[in-house]
Structures are given as C-alpha cells and as structure tokens.
Amino acid sequence: MFVNPGFSDKGFWKAVSETMQAAATVLGFDLTIVSGDRKWPVMVARGLAALEEVKPDYAILVNEHQQAPQLMEAAEAAGIKSILLLNGLTPEQEASMRGPRQKLSHWLGTITPDNEIAGYEMAKSLVKAGAALGLDKDGLSVLTLAGDFKTPASIIRLRGMDRALVEFKHVSEARRITVNWSSDEAYERTTIFLKTANVNAIWAANDPIAIGAIKALREAGRRPGRDVAVAGLNWSPEAIDLVRRGEMTLTHGGHFLAGAWVMVLLYDYENGRDFAELSTHLSFPMSAIHVGNAEAYMDAFGDGDWSRIDFKRFSRADNPNLGNYPFNLTTLLASRRGY
C-alpha cells in the first residue's frame, strides 16, 4: 500500500502513483493507493485507517511535512513492513528512530533522490543562461520560489541553491518565498513581487511553480527565456514544451520514477536480494531535461505509457551481475520493451 501525500488525479504525485502501478503490474504486486490530497492531516488520517483496513504486507510512506513517524509506528505495531519514499526522516527524527531495522524493526529503509544536486544544477543552468543572454552584466538577481520550508526534499533542494549562491559570487538572491508547491500561489506571489522589484532569473522548486511564475512574467511584460531565465523541476510535459521553446533552461527530475524504483527494491527483497546489501538509505540521481535531450525523452515516453518499461531490467535479483541499481535516465531510455 502506498500512502500518497498528493492528489490521485493530477500533478507530480499522480505520476509517482502511475509509475508505481506500472512497475507493480510487471513485478507481480497487488497495489493499493491512498491519497492525501496535499493536506498532511488527511494523509495521516487516511493512512492510519488504511493500514488497519487493508493490512498490506508493505506500507510505502512519505515524510510529508515530517509526519511519517506516526504512520511508521502504526505499521510497526501491526507487523507491517514499511519503507520511506522521496522524503526521508530529518536528522533529528532519524536519531530518535535509531535508523532502519533498529527501534522499528519493520522499517526496511529509505529511497530518496539526490535533491541537492538537482537544486544546484538548476541554479547553475540559470547562471549559464544569464551569461548567454547577457543578463548578468550587473550581476544575476534570482527570485527563489520554494515549495515549503519543512518537507525534507524542499529543504535539501534549497541546500543546492545555497551551494550555488556561495560558488557564483555574481549571483544574488533577491528574495526567497515559499509558495506551497502551488502554481496559482507562485503566480500570485510573483505578480506582487514584480510590482516593486525586478529580477533576471527565477529558481522554481517544481514545474507548476515555474509555470505560475512564467504567467506572471508575461503579464508584467517580461519575456521568459529572453529577459528572465527560469528553471524548474518535475519533467512535466508542459515544462518540457517550455524547454523546447527556450522559455525554461531545464526541467530537472525523474524522481517521480521513485514509485517504480521502490517496487524494484521490494521485488528484490521478496526474492532474496535485500537492498540492505548496498544500504538501507538508497539515493538515486535525478537528471536534467534540456534542449539537447528533450526530443529523445518525448519520443520515448511522451505518451506517459510506463508499461513499456522492462522494470525487471533494474532488478538485482534478476540480474545478479548488477552492482548498484541503475536508476538513471540512460538506462531508462534503453529499457523500453521492444527496443
């Protein structure tokens, strides 16, 4: 069972669920998905109820707004194995739990993307675009639009932005605003900001935020990709189209495929190849879709048909010669059935 903190019918978390379901079908799992509609109290309440009603063998949980521990403890009490996906515990929570398979013996581990390198590479793309467009003659001023200041993925992604601010001395942060992962809120907050200030780059924590900011830029008479460089994250079709048109520097991501990758880990665990052989805290890289590889990606997966992926190709149980898990864009593009 997957306790999805987002919506079942739209956005990033829909994509996580879709890739998870595709992999579950290929790998022989019966998957139940419970959605929290982006409200952590709803996520917790529905998750707790479903643990009791469904009684799954495995519970896949997300530390949205740092609320996973109560779901983990409920799973432990019911004898249900759990694994954390995309948002792991904070260092303080981890210390309290003493790590996987310790205080909570049924907590198997955590799989998260490398959010710091994603945040850094997004910022670096703005620096590169600023130079190419001649926007940085008096320094590059960046508006940072964060998802929130509490979810671990958001905190770590911002850490990558902070790393770039230290490295690139001509880059300054005009303001850092949290917009609750919302395109509408990003549009509203950016519109207000642009009435009294000016920037030549926008770092957006995800694609909906970038799209909302771009709408505000256009209404303010600013041209994305010409007057203002914009970077986002999620690999959403809308953002990839903006990348192809030169209005966004890139869309980082691939982390929605964590839904599939967690199925691979549990498949291996079931088949005697425990991922703990490598680590109980697995991290996989995210990749940037930019103008140089956008066409190849859309040709392969633009239709969103994840059932064409041979997920067993990523299994260490089925492929004993694999060292680490090859959860990357190169292997993904080569994994389509019939290719």
Domain range list for the chain: 2-113+255-289+302-334, 115-253
Fold assignment, 2-113+255-289+302-334: Rossmann fold (3.40.50)
Among 188-192, 203-207, 319-323, 325-329, name the one with the lowest average pLDDT: 325-329
Q: What region, left, alpha or beta, does residue 146 occupy, with left being phi > 0 and alpha being psi -120 to 50 degrees?
A: beta
Record the pTM. Answer: 0.84
Q: Return the CATH class of domain 115-253.
A: alpha beta
Q: Measured over all CA atoms, what is the biggest interatomic distance in the chain, rounded to whole angstroms?
A: 61
Are 12 and 6 in contact by the 8 Å Cβ rule? The answer is yes
Q: For all residues of the chain together, what is the average pLDDT? A: 94
Q: What angle do CA 259, 261, 266 make, to 5 degrees?
A: 100
Average pLDDT on 111-137 reads 96
**In which band, very low, low, confident or very high, does the pLDDT at 260 lie, cut at 50, 70 and 90?**
very high
What is the average pLDDT across 15-34?
A: 96
Q: Do domains 2-113+255-289+302-334 and 115-253 have the same CATH topology?
A: yes
The lowest-confidence range among 110-114, 135-139, 301-305, 317-321 is 301-305
